[in-house]
Amino acid sequence: MKKDYYAILGVPRNADLDTIKQAYRRLALQYHPDRNPGNREAEERFKEISEAYEVLSDPEKRRQYDLFGVVSSAPPPSADPFTQVVEEVFETFFGTGRRRTARPQAVRGEDIRLPLELTLEEIATGLTKEVEYLREMRCEVCGGTGSAQGTVPSTCTTCGGSGQVAYRIGGGFFEQVIYQTCPECKGRGFRIISPCSACEGKGVRARMHRQLVEVPPGATGGMTLALRGAGHMGPWGGPPGDLLLEVREKPHPIFIREEYNLLYEAWVSYPDLVLGTTLTIPLLNDEKLTLSLSPGTLSGEVFRFTGKGLPHYNSRKRGDLLVQVHVWVPKRISSEDKKLLELMRQSSAFQPTPKKSEKSFLRRFREFFQK
């Protein structure tokens, strides 16, 4: 006698798939053998429910059933009702079920890591720079398929073209089906019978590639700039990896960097400190600043120029320029210069007479950078 699958699940004949699934889950939990140990009637009822769901959840089988009252083809092993019960119930109520993907996942290309050397001038302004590197790109001979011309890949017999294989763990009501990448085709879903001679079946070949890189102002050494999709292309049409550029800062001949501040050492003669003078301070953008030293300036004094340092990364803020004044002591002097220095040494005006209110150089220097 023909079984009324709709009546078994308690749904109308025009029920959609969601309605059928909801009825199936409710009845499967109610009549599952693990919940009704030793109850033969519940076990038979559970088999009927599973059989009805297996037919009505498949569009083709449901069409055959509605037309002829029977289904000609038997359910495949991977679609047995007990496995579907566990997957549907666990996914809905416990969030631990995993569904099998309809087609294999594409293999992503590997990332490429390169150093990117920048000068302080380039860091201060930002720039567009061209980098050249060896990159695996789609094979132009086979078009990235990995197969020789005139041939097509064949479906993997291990996974049936899905790119995944199923493993069952546990038992009874707590049985789970775990899907993993097929070890035979590595997730591709197909096997290459006649590999392309140019790329040896990989679908990609290494070639020199030029890439324009936008470097924002304010980059710091050790920072990694990522260019999405500029890495190695994935084999067999897979998505590309990323290009990761590690910023390396070149030493500067006159400036020292402290985060976003720049340190500059200005050397002056002793008379300049005593009498006062005007210094010209260079900047990274080829401009210049004027620093006026008042008479009696101490060696080691630090002057701050706000906003004349490096820009903050992705910000409108800028660091400062710190100028430290040092007295220049010559190593060789003439006899006349020596006589002048002897006269200076004998003069009381050049004798050290520090006042208690004057702080030492180290103390002033520390307090300056603690501001």
- Establish if 164 belongs to a structural domain: no
- Establish if 159 belongs to a structural domain: no
Query: Do 122 and 224 share a domain, yes or no?
Result: yes
Q: For position 362, what pLDDT does the model report?
A: 53
**Res 69 pLDDT > 80:** no
pLDDT, tens digit (0-9, with 9 covering 90-100), for 323-356? 999 999 998 989 998 999 898 888 888 887 776 6
Which two three-digit tokens encode residue 208? 């020199």
Query: Do 361 and 263 share a domain, yes or no?
Result: yes
Which two three-digit tokens encode residue 274? 């005593």
Query: Do 129 and 43 share a domain, yes or no?
Result: no
- Establish if 273 belongs to a structural domain: yes
A 10 A CB-CB count for 316 gives: 6
Higher pLDDT, 60 or 10: 10
Q: 135 lies in which domain range?
A: 105-144+197-250
Q: For position 1, what pLDDT does the model report?
A: 52
Query: Do 205 and 261 share a domain, yes or no?
Result: no
Q: For position 92, what pLDDT does the model report?
A: 40
Query: Do 113 and 245 share a domain, yes or no?
Result: yes
Instruction: Indicate the residue among 232, 250, 268 that finishes a domain.
Output: 250
| Ranges 145-159, 261-275, 306-320: which has the least confidence | 145-159
Instruction: Indicate the residue among 216, 250, 284 that finishes a domain.
Output: 250
pLDDT, tens digit (0-9, with 9 covering 90-100), for 76-111? 333 344 444 444 444 444 444 444 444 445 678 999
pLDDT band at 9 (very low <50, low <70, confident <90, very high): very high
As a whole number, mean pLDDT of residues 196-220 equals 91
As a whole number, mean pLDDT of residues 186-203 equals 82
Higher pLDDT, 370 or 127: 127
- Establish if 347 belongs to a structural domain: yes
Query: Do 264 and 140 share a domain, yes or no?
Result: no
The total of structural domains in the chain comes to 3
As a whole number, mean pLDDT of residues 110-129 equals 94
pLDDT band at 357 (very low <50, low <70, confident <90, very high): low
Choose among 114, 285, 311: nearest CA to 219: 311
- Establish if 209 belongs to a structural domain: yes
| Ranges 22-36, 142-156, 242-256: which has the least confidence | 142-156
Higher pLDDT, 314 or 160: 314
- Establish if 174 belongs to a structural domain: no
Higher pLDDT, 225 or 365: 225
Higher pLDDT, 263 or 102: 263
Query: Do 64 and 124 share a domain, yes or no?
Result: no
What is the CATH number for 264?
2.60.260.20
Higher pLDDT, 348 or 71: 348
Query: Do 140 and 16 share a domain, yes or no?
Result: no
Query: Do 114 and 236 share a domain, yes or no?
Result: yes
Query: Do 217 and 109 share a domain, yes or no?
Result: yes
| Ranges 189-193, 232-236, 362-366: which has the least confidence | 362-366
**Res 73 pLDDT > 50:** no
- Establish if 165 belongs to a structural domain: no
What is the CATH number for 44?
1.10.287.110
**Res 40 pLDDT > 70:** yes
Contact yes or no for 191/220 (Cβ under 8 A) = no
Instruction: Indicate the residue among 94, 120, 152 that finishes a domain.
Output: 94
Query: Do 128 and 238 share a domain, yes or no?
Result: yes
**Res 262 pLDDT > 90:** yes
Query: Do 265 and 349 share a domain, yes or no?
Result: yes
